[in-house]
Structure 1
Amino acid sequence: MIRTALLALAVTAATPLAAQTPPAGPWGEPHLPPAPRSPVEAARIARVTAPTQSFDAAETYETHPAGAATKFAAPSRNAFSFPSANMGFAREMDFRLGNGLFKKLWVTAPASTRSSDGLGPLYNARACQRCHIKDGRGHPPSGSEDSGVSMLLRLSIPDTASDLPAETLAYLSNAPEPTYGLQLQDKSIAGLAAEGRIAISHTPVPVTLGDGTTVTLRQPQYTVVDPAHGPLHPDTQISPRIAPQMIGLGLIEAIPEADILAHADPQDRDGDGISGRPNVVWSTAHGQWMLGRFGLKAGSPSLREQSADAFSGDIGLSTALHPAAWGDCTEAQPLCRTAPDGALGAPDGLEVSDQVLDLVIFYSRNLAVPARRNPEDHRVLRGKALFYQAGCAACHRPKYVTHRLPDRPEQSFQLIWPYSDFLLHDMGAGLADNRPEWQATGREWRTPPLWGIGLTATVSGHTQFLHDGRAGSLLEAILWHGGEAEAAREAVRMMPAEDRDALILFLESL
């Protein structure tokens, strides 16, 4: 049903078409203009980023998780909304403009505010900020009165169930659900029906800790209620996603590809049970395969593509990377395809111009990481030692040094502490969404960075973690770990209460 649009996407993505199977890495970093490292500099960086062996005191610069870009301020609801601390005054204007566009409420076309119209026709939110509230973490709907605006459902079907040709599927993250596309839009403009809504039920999962305490987890089940265009394909794959926090994204983008790939061990050759894999994704912007860095399954290679995807899928707005003004509407939704849009009269025929997209990207790239709290506290240091002893640091890699980037001074050559390897890991059946994405399987997830996680309650007003917010605390999030993380989870589960509390205190200091 959506063959025509997707064939056009595949053909325009690269000319001539690249191989259907991603080549072996490294893949290159066309989104960055890095200055090369000398052998002496590379050796110095390797020493600085090596895992610590001492837990008697905080490491040098540990208070600065984002290097010179770290923001020192009293914790508040605005803790994730400051610009990079090393940003020059002249560049702050672009940050403020990007912030305004990030918060902008888009309206239905046609409208008198021509620069703000084009919403939908189907959408999940009217503004970026509506999902990433205060630039923080989203949450699942808490009840029937909660709109669930910071949560959405990804949709797809297996490639084998799709009637799209292989040469098209090779350049798509997933085969779209034939009627509803790649995402369920639960909102619509006047005169059109929303595609459906999310219904969540839970099954209790009791877990007994080593000291006899019982923690009851909740296993969620997701269904689509009131589908507007008939039942979904019988093989539909549904993956719930809450909006992630926005801090530090530009620094993640600036980590050298080689430094991320250095930690990959897909065959587990060292026998530690950890076999992180890179996700390799097709870049429409650059017409080549690239390392995936962003998204819960590392399905996007750059902030430009991540931002353009969100404008199209979440708000229904066209950009140069997604020029269709109808967003995720499929050919099975003709009224949606023919609804008025905001591209009419725009100089470039787009609802979101390159200038607007650039400003939103600049804002997203420069949301500062807050400073660490109490890294010298003896209980925090004890928790840090336990974090390492339990094996958590095998995936939540603490440190990197970013590229030297002449055009991005805020991100250039910074020692950063994101606590992630940015690789895919099998997290077990309990966390599986059974929906692949590019090279990621239905059991794999990208290791999420941990910086700022201790301020979730302050910024977002809740402590709901993991890809769908099922965990009501950091301990619950750990107890959901399985697969490659099972040994680390068991180490934490069997800890004495005092040690467990110290570990959580360390995480809350990040």
Structure 2
Amino acid sequence: MQKKHKSSFSFLQKAILTKSLVVIFTTGLFAVNNEGKYFSSEKNKSLLEKPVKGLNDEQYDQFILGRSFFVIPWVEAPSATTARDGLGPLFNSNTCVSCHPRNGRGSLYNNKMKPSRSLVARLSIPFDNSKEHKELFEKQGFVPEPRYGSQISVNGIHGVPFEARVDVKFQEIKVKFPDGEVDTILKPKYELIDKNYGKLAKNTAITYRMAQSLNGLGLLEKVSDEEILSNEDEFDKDGDGISGRANRVYSPLTKKEEIGRYTWKASAATVIEQIAGAANNDMGLTTFLQSNENCTSFQKLCNEAPKPWHKKDITDERLGAIDFYIRNLKTYKPKKDEEHLEGLEIFKGLDCAKCHKTSLKTVDGFNIEPFTDMLLHDMGEGLSDGRVEFKANEREFRTAPLWGLALHEKINKKKPRLLHDGRARDFQEAILWHGGEAEISKQKYMSASKEQREKLIKFLERL
């Protein structure tokens, strides 16, 4: 076993520490040639924890190693458990699965009906064109709040005070349909309470983000830049009201600008970069991609906290294993029965598929159905979060993939809270919050017959 891990480590060192990592992983070095080996229509709570079919012994060892670092708790340093020490000093969770239960989407509330760890508060301040801000924006895509950093940590290790808590209340808004139906949508009133490090900087933008499902992340990395860019129409030249554009982001892996694919505003180019960012922001873990602790200069006890044995909390080998694990998870695919096909036609007829693309081609030559174009779209003032990330402005979000949401209720025993901040209690509420480029499609939905609306919602619930 040790020999296998050593061999795997040797390979990963070459892959991770070179600019060719993205090309290697997307051209199918570990890919399964048969499309069917990636997907399953089995609707159970454990599906997203299973590996794709066809892994050899060495690859399966790598998968299991990655899973162990994903599900087993990290501990504060110094510790006899040197493989998993380095938690914090400030953190939200001590495991990845705390935010992604069974690799699915997080829930807005925990069992005590308090905001869960799957909901995080991201912070940024306006760009002032100074040299410092330019350097921060070039590499991070935003300027962190100086006292609290880029994300609020609701926990701290022994002796280090947590940063703040999240509180949420909702304002009810009535929406009336042309046929007389009335629905109630919720406008969130999020607040940071119990702030332990003083006041936030003036004009701080606070945006609240729900942890997304890991369903199909590896397959999205297999979609070429050319395929993504083929759907761009930044200046709406075809006049259909849709003007999607790709986010161009700095990649700490390749050290250059890449097409953004992951996060709510498409600010991460690869799965491994998304992992490293989440590890640092959510658990205070450093990697070769995110080498700084998440303490600011205002947080003395955080900066003076004991250091782990390793220079990097997550070594290159372990980071590579987590990356391999996530990219090689099974992907849920709904059964294409008559009900599905009927709902799909309504979906297309209401122009939902103009952004939630029903098909993208991978570099392996087969089609996937994530229901996203991976582009940024203006979603209107109602969803604006006041936050800029690289090319994405305050009103722009990446089209959220819809695949795999059917598993949420199986995993969490409750329906998913939708949109970036979890405000929508169901798909209809999510649709009713759509504005900007999606306004016409929303109006078409509201003007559709009650029967068509119900069939569309059932279709979405099965994706």
TM value normalised by structure 2: 0.90
Normalising to structure 1: TM-score of the pair?
0.82
Give me the whole-angstrom Cα distance separating, in 1, the residues matched to 2:374 and 2:20.
Answer: 16
- Alpha-carbon separation, structure 2, partners of 1:102 and 1:35: 22
Farther off after superposition, 272-281 or 394-403: 394-403
2:319 to 330, 347, 357: 357
**Alpha-carbon distance in structure 1 between the residues aligned to 2:112 and 2:131:** 37
The residue type paired with residue 313 of structure 2 is: E
Distance in 2 between residues matched to 1:264 and 1:505, nearest whole Å: 29
> How do 1:63-82 residues align onto structure 2 when only pairs under 5 Å count?
67-72=35-40, 74-82=42-50
Within 5 Å, which residues of 2 pair with 1:334-353? 334-342=300-308, 344=309, 346=310, 349-353=311-315
Distance 1:165-1:491 versus aligned 2 partners, 3 A rule: closer
| Equivalent position SS for 1:282 | strand
- 2: CA distance, partners of 1:396 / 1:182: 29
Aligned counterparts of 2:343 and 2:113: Cα–Cα separation in 1:
39
The answer to whether the 8 Å contact 1:69/1:87 transfers is no
- Please say if 1:509 is aligned against 2:462: yes
Whether the 8 Å CA contact 2:137–2:390 is kept in 1: the answer is no
CA deviation vs aligned residue, 1:421-449 (integer Å, no higher than 9, x gap): 00000001111101111110110000011
Write the deviation string for residues 8-35 of structure 1: whole angstroms up to 9, x where unpaired: xxxxxxxxxxxxxxxxxxxx98621489
Q: 1:96 aligns with which of 58, 64, 68?
A: 64
The one-character-per-residue Cα deviations of 1:192-242 (angstroms, maximum 9, x if unpaired) are 110001111211111112332211000002221111111101110011011
User: Partners in 2 of 1:138 and 1:94 — Cα distance?
Assistant: 25
Residue 421 (1) aligns with residue 387 (2): no
> How many Å apart are 1:401 and its aligned residue?
2.0
Name the counterpart of 2:14. none
Q: Which amino acid letter does the alignment assign opposite residue 396 of structure 1?
A: H
Which residue identity is paired with 2:400?
A: P
Please list every run of 5 or more consecutive structure 2 residues that lacks an aligned counterpart in the other structure.
1-18, 28-33
Deviation at 1:170, TM superposition (A): 2.5
| Aligned residue in 1 for 2:337 | 376
| Percent of aligned pairs sharing the same letter | 36
Size of the aligned set, in residue pairs, is 438
**2:159–2:301 Cα contact (<8 Å) kept:** no
Match of residue 434 from structure 2: 481
Structure with greater helix share of residues? 2
Give the corresponding residue for 2:201: 233
> Quick one: structure 1 residues 223 and 143, their matched pair in 2 at CA, closer, same or farther if it must change by over 3 Å?
farther
Report deviation, 1:506: 1.8
2:299 match: 333
- Residue identity matched to 2:362: T
Q: 2:52 aligns with which of 84, 97, 101?
A: 84
Deviation for aligned residue 1:244: 0.3
Q: Which ranges in structure 1 are unaligned for 5 or more consecutive residues?
A: 1-27, 37-65, 404-411
- Aligned with 1:500 (options 436, 453, 456): 453
Paired residue type of 1:141: Y
Instruction: State the match for 2:217 in structure 1.
Output: 249
- Displacement after TM superposition at 1:171 (Å): 2.4
SS in 2 for 1:183: coil
Letter in 1 for 2:388: P
| 1:143/1:112 CA distance change after superposition, 3 Å | closer
- Pairing 1:33-432 to 2, within 5 Å after superposition: 33=24, 67-72=35-40, 74-141=42-109, 146=114, 148-160=116-128, 164-324=132-292, 327-342=293-308, 344=309, 346=310, 349-373=311-335, 375-377=336-338, 379-403=339-363, 412-432=364-384
Question: Partner of 1:14 in structure 2?
Answer: none
1:102-134 Cα distance to aligned partner (Å, 9 max, x none): 002011111111111111000011011111011
Quote the RMSD (CA, aligned, Å): 2.0
